[in-house]
């Protein structure tokens, strides 16, 4: 048997929306009316990301050649549709939707809903099978629009939480599976398709066409949540203790809490503004974000970064360019420190 080949055309990565809500969580005051909502949004995004990561190992055991794209978001007729993962082969395509449901989950096909029970708490969700079938229809329409060959498209919903306990309609049995059954189910699907529809080369071209058409979901707190800029805290984070409010002392940042010093701590503040406001920055906006007082000092600090500039004098703007996949790793560390502080604070309150 020939060795199976896998080409990951679009790797799994943390998405811009998740980065935005994490940055907002760190800067939104805990007494803000939407703070708990943002806490839940961060938890939901992280659970989704780690759930999708759990697909990677069983997919790696596929014994047939395939291409793979994660978190694909395609435009269609003025709107967008998104797929957690898409497997491409010359014989069929496969859309997979990862869900992180836990505890007792009942599937109701008559009303197209999912009911989750966690102790006394009951939550109702949209039917994931209906969701992934809609993705299949939209993908078929997209491919027809661009004259791609008519190739079978399969769908699966994969439950990534080991505490998931399903009940309800038996018609869901082969459409909703636990992640530990994914490898065997993929082999079963593959065995149903023996006829090659398009060549391996054409599959690669199709995958890269998907990649070229992909548009990540980028939004800002004022648009998504109605949280405007003056509602969240400005300042520079200390990467040692995670506290906000480092001060500029002789062209170096110093943390009043732990004494840590840094020459470039302001870079993460600029990145936060990129996530929360947008990709342009003036000298005045830099000073407001970081707390730097001097126009001259701010100009020197911005000049070191070689941002593209346009405009003159007070109207000059710097064009920020960052990679969502590579440039925001600091957020995971700061969010972890933040969450640890919140847990300690709650424990202290309980003990008190």
Specify the pLDDT at position 302: 92
| Strand bridging mode 308-310 / 261-262 | unpaired
| pLDDT surpassing 90 at residue 279 | yes
pLDDT digits (tens, 9 = 90+) for 140-183: 999 999 999 899 999 999 999 887 777 766 667 778 899 999 99
Closest CA to 205 of 96, 88, 92, 93: 88
Residue 142, SS3?
helix
| Strand bridging mode 113-118 / 121-126 | antiparallel
Query: What confidence category does residue 2 fall into, taking pLDDT thresholds of 50, 70 and 90?
Result: very low
Name 20's bridge partners. none
Specify the pLDDT at position 193: 96
Whole-model pTM: value is 0.89
- Which two structure tokens, joined as six digits, stand for 332? 């995971």
Specify the pLDDT at position 93: 98
What integer best gives the mean pLDDT of the chain? Answer: 90
pLDDT digits (tens, 9 = 90+) for 204-235: 999 999 999 999 999 999 999 999 999 999 99
pLDDT digits (tens, 9 = 90+) for 108-129: 766 677 777 777 777 777 788 8
Helix (H) / strand (E) element for 43: namely helix 35-53
Distance from C-alpha of 320 to C-alpha of 43, rounded to nearest angstrom: 28
DSSP string, 281-345: E-HHHHHHHH----HHHHHHHHHHTT-EEES-GGG-EEE----TTTS-THHHHHHHHHHHHHHHH
Closest CA to 320 of 284, 277, 264, 289: 277
**Percent of the chain whose pLDDT exceeds 90:** 73
Q: Please, what is the end-to-end C-alpha distance for the chain in angstroms?
A: 66
Residue 269, SS3?
helix
Residue 165, SS3?
strand
Domain residue spans of the chain: 6-213, 234-351
Radius of gyration of the chain (CA): 24
| pLDDT surpassing 50 at residue 241 | yes
| Cα dihedral across residues 303, 307, 312, 314: positive or negative | negative
Name 249's bridge partners. 252
Mean pLDDT, rounded, for 79-83: 97
């Amino acid at each position: 048997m020939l060795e199976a080949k896998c080409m990951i055309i679009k790797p799994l990565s943390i998405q811009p929306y998740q980065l935005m809500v994490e940055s907002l969580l760190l800067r939104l005051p805990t007494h803000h009316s939407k703070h708990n909502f943002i806490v839940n949004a961060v938890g939901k995004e992280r659970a989704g990301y780690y759930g999708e990561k759990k697909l990677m190992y069983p997919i790696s055991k596929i014994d047939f050649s395939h291409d793979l794209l994660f978190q694909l978001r395609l435009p269609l007729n003025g709107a967008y549709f998104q797929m957690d993962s898409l497997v491409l082969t010359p014989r069929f395509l496969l859309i997979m939707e990862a869900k992180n449901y836990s505890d007792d989950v009942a599937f109701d096909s008559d009303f197209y809903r999912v009911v989750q029970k966690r102790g006394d708490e009951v939550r109702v969700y949209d039917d994931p099978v209906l969701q992934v079938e809609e993705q299949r229809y939209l993908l078929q329409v997209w491919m027809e629009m661009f004259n791609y060959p008519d190739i079978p498209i399969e769908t699966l919903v994969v439950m990534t939480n080991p505490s998931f306990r399903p009940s309800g309609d038996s018609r869901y049995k082969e459409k909703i599976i636990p992640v530990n059954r994914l490898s065997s189910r993929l082999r079963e699907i593959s065995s149903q398709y023996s006829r090659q529809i398009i060549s391996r080369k054409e599959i690669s071209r199709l995958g890269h066409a998907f990649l070229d058409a992909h548009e990540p979901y980028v939004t800002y707190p004022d648009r998504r949540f109605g949280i405007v800029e003056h509602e969240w805290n400005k300042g520079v984070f200390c990467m040692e203790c995670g506290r906000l409010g480092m001060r500029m002392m002789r062209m170096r940042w110093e943390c009043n809490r732990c004494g840590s010093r840094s020459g470039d701590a302001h870079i993460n503040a600029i990145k936060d503004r990129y996530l929360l406001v947008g990709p342009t920055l003036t000298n005045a906006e830099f000073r407001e974000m970081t707390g730097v007082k001097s126009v001259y000092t701010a100009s020197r600090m911005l000049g070191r970064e070689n941002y593209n500039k346009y405009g003159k004098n007070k109207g000059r703007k710097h064009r920020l360019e960052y990679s969502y996949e590579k440039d925001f790793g600091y957020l995971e560390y700061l969010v972890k420190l933040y969450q640890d502080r919140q847990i300690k604070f709650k424990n202290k309150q309980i003990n008190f």
